[in-house]
Amino acid sequence: MPTRPNVLLIVIDQFRADLLRDGPLGAVAQLPNLRALMREAVSFDNHFSVVAPCGPSRVSLLTGQYAMNHRAVRNGTPLRHDTPNLATATRTAGYAPQLFGYTDTAQDPRVLEPDDPRLASYEELMHGFDEAVRMRMESGDAAWRAHLQAQGITLPDYPDTYRPAGDRIDDPAQYPAEHSDTAFLTDCFLERMGTAEPGWFGLLTYIRPHPPLVAPDPYNRMYDPARMPPPATGALEHPFLAPARDKQAPSSMVVGFPDLERSEATTAALRALYLGLASEVDHHIGRVMDWLKSSGQWDDTILVVTADHGEMLGDFGLWGKGTFHDAAFHVPLIIRDPVRPEMHGQAVAGMTESIDVPVTLLDRLGIDVPHAMNGQSLLPHLADTDTPGRACAVSEYDFGNPVSPTAWMRHLGLASNEANFAVLRTRQHRLVQFAAELPPILFDMTGDGEGRDLSGESGAESIFLDLTRKMLCHRMRNPEGTFARTMVGDGGVRTGNE
C-alpha cells in the first residue's frame, strides 16, 4: 500500500440496516455486491445515525458531532462556517477530498452577503470538499440533465422529474437505467477517479433509495409486491404519532399520486419500489468495487459504506424518517481496511454511532482528531470484533420549524424549541424523551419491542430512572468541544487530551 492510502466513503441515502441482515426484508433484498463486500470487510450490526433527516445526519457524519452540538438540526438550519470536518482535517495531510453527490449543508449567513445565491437552498456544499460533480435533487442536477439531453431525453422540472412514465406507481421512470441519476453519478466517479493520482479521497453519495420512489426499468418491477414481507405493527399510541402519520402518508413517497390510499397493497407496492432502488444502488457500488480491483487499487483503498439514516417503509403506519423507531436511525456500516485481511468477514455486535466514522478514518490515517468531534475511533473493533461497543447509543430529531410551524407544532401547540426528542438505546431498552411536556416512551426490545410502551406499567419505574440518568450523563459528557480542552494562562494557550 502507498504511504498514503486512498479513501472512499460511500453514503447511501435512506437505507435501512435490515436490508443486509437476517430477517424478513433481508431475506428478499437482492444486494449481492454489498453482501460480497461484507465478506471482505468488517460489518457493524448495531450502528445508528445520531440524527435525522438528511442535512443534519450528514453534518454529524462528516463533523463527528452530535446534533445538540453542531445545531444544524433541520434541513435548512445553517452550520457554523468554522466547524471542523472530515474534509478540512484530511486536507492537513495532503488529501484533496472530492465530492460526488451532495452534503446538504445550509451555509452560515454571517459570512455571506444577503443576496448570495448559496443562501437560497439548504443543498449546499460543506467546506473542505471539492465538488467534482454537482448533483443535488432539488436545486442542482444540471449536469445530469445535460447528459440526458445529449441522449435525446428531456425531463420536466423537479419534482415532476420523478413522476413515473405511466399511470401506475410501479411504471418505469422517464429515463432508462443506464442514464439514471445513480448510473450517471457512478459514471462521473469512475471517469474522474480513473485518472486520479494515488492517495485520493472520494465521498460518493447516492440519493437512492430516498423518495420519490420511482425506478427505471427493470428495477421498477424487480420485486413482486405480493412477496413483500408485511410491515411491523403494534398497539402503541402517542400524541406524536397522529401528525407524523398525517405528514408522512404513502402519497408523500411518490410524485403524481396525491390520493394514493393507505392499504396493504399500497404498502407492498412502495416496499417493492424501495427495494428495486436499493438493488440499483447495489449494482453501481458493484461497478465501483470492480473498478478498484481491475485498476489494482482494491488493496490500496480504505472503503467505508454507510447511510445517512433509515426509512420506516410503512412500519407502524409510518413512512420516511421522522420518528423515534429504530428503522429511522439503524443504518449499515461496512469498513474494509486492506491491511487487516484476517478480520474480513467478521461482524461487530457492539453499538456504534455515525459520529464514529470520521474519527475512525482520521485515526486510521494518523491525522489529529479535532477536539470538537464527539465520536470514538472504531479501530479497536477492526482489530478485535469482540471489543465492547458503546454502553448506549443516542439519536435526536427536531420536528419543529421557527419560520413555518410544522404539523406537530400546530397539532400539539408546541413552540419550535419544544419540538424535538432524543432516543437513548441500550442493548435491551429504548427511552424516548421529548423536550415538550409529552409522555416519554419506554420500549423493551427483548419483549414486545417498539409496539408496546412500558413507561406507565408497574415495575418500569427503576428502568425509566436509570435510562433517564444515562441520557442526562450522556449530554453532560459530550458538550460542544471546540475549546473544551484548551486553557489560556501564564503559559499562553495550552491544549490537553484529558
Question: For residue range 167-212, what is the model confidence (pLDDT) as tens digits?
Answer: 999 999 999 999 999 999 999 999 999 999 999 999 999 999 999 9
What is the rounded average pLDDT for all residues in the chain? Answer: 96
Q: Which amino acid is at 341?
A: P
Query: How would DSSP label each residue in 389-435?
Result: -BS-EEEEEE---SSS--HHHHHHT--GGGSEEEEEE-SSEEEEEES
Distance CA 17, CA 310 (A): 7
Q: How confident is the model at residue 485 (pLDDT cuts 50, 70, 90)?
A: confident
pLDDT band of 492, cuts 50, 70, 90:
very high
E-strand stretches of 34-129? 42-48, 51-52, 98-101
Taking the C-alpha atoms of residue 102 and residue 126, their distance in angstroms, rounded to an integer, is 9
pLDDT at 123 exceeding the cut of 60: yes
Does 436 map to a domain?
no
Residue 447 predicted with pLDDT over 90: no
pLDDT tens-digit series, residues 4-50:
999 999 999 999 999 999 999 999 999 999 999 999 999 999 999 99
| Average pLDDT of span 342-366 | 98
Taking residues 472-480, report their average pLDDT. 95
| Residue 259 banded pLDDT, cuts 50, 70, 90 | very high
Could you tell me which residues are beta bridge partners of residue 11? 205, 306
pLDDT category at 71 given cuts 50, 70, 90 is very high
pLDDT band at 1 (very low <50, low <70, confident <90, very high): low
Q: Using the 8-state DSSP alphabet, how is residue 138 labeled? A: T
Spatial contact of 274 and 25, defined as CB atoms under 8 Å apart? no
**Non-local CB neighbours of 365 within 8 Å, separated by 6+ positions:** 4, 5, 7, 90, 93
pLDDT reading at 393 higher than 70: yes
pLDDT computed for residue 138 by the predictor: 82
How large is the average pLDDT for residues 382-403? 97
* Cα–Cα distance list, 145 to 14, 175, 252, 323, 341 (Å): 23, 11, 24, 34, 42
The per-residue pLDDT for 496 is 85
Q: How many other CB atoms are there within 10 angstroms of residue 417's CB atom?
A: 11
Three-class secondary structure of residue 114 per DSSP: coil
Give the range of the structural domain holding residue 39, as residue numbers without chain letter.
6-390
Specify if 412 maps to a domain.
Answer: no
Confidence of residue 141 (pLDDT cuts 50, 70, 90): confident
pLDDT confidence tier of residue 321, bands split at 50, 70 and 90: very high
Residue 146 domain-assigned (yes or no) = yes
The residue count of the chain comes to 498
Share of the chain above pLDDT 70, in %: 99
Note the pLDDT of residue 16. Answer: 98
Rg (CA), the chain: 22
Least confident of 137-141, 294-298, 397-401: 137-141
Q: Is residue 41 part of a domain?
A: yes
Confidence of residue 456 (pLDDT cuts 50, 70, 90): confident
The pLDDT assigned to 142 comes to: 87
Q: How many domains does the chain have?
A: 1
Question: Is the pTM here over 0.75, yes or no?
Answer: yes
pLDDT tier at 139, thresholds 50, 70, 90:
confident
pLDDT band at 495 (very low <50, low <70, confident <90, very high): confident
Residue 211 and residue 14 in contact, taking contact as beta carbons nearer than 8 Å: yes
Whether 243 shows a pLDDT value over 60: the answer reads yes
pLDDT of 498 strictly over 70: no
Residues with active-site annotation: 54
Selection from 145, 147, 143 nearest residue 160 by Cα: 145
Q: Across residues 352-360, what is the average pLDDT?
A: 99
What's the CATH code of the domain at 153?
Answer: 3.40.720.10
Instruction: Grade residue 497 by pLDDT with cuts at 50, 70 and 90.
Output: confident
In a domain, 26, yes or no: yes
What digits encode the pLDDT tens for the residues 400-436? 999 999 999 999 999 999 999 999 999 999 999 999 9
Q: Give the separation between CA 177 and CA 364, rounded to whole angstroms.
A: 37
Q: Is 441 inside any structural domain?
A: no
Asked, for residue 427, whether it belongs to a domain, the answer is no
Q: Which helix (H) or strand (E) holds 9?
A: strand 6-12
Task: For strands 98-101 and 333-336, give the pairing.
Answer: unpaired
Q: What are phi and psi of 262, to 5 degrees?
A: -85, 115
Q: 421 lies in a domain?
A: no
User: Per-residue pLDDT averaged across 230-234, rounded?
Assistant: 95
CA-wise closest residue to 177 among 280, 287, 285: 280
Helix or strand or coil: residue 116? coil
**pLDDT tens, position by position, 143-163:** 999 999 999 999 999 999 999
Q: Which residues pair with 100 in a beta bridge?
A: 133, 204
Query: Could you tell me the pLDDT band of residue 254, with boundaries at 50, 70 and 90?
Result: very high
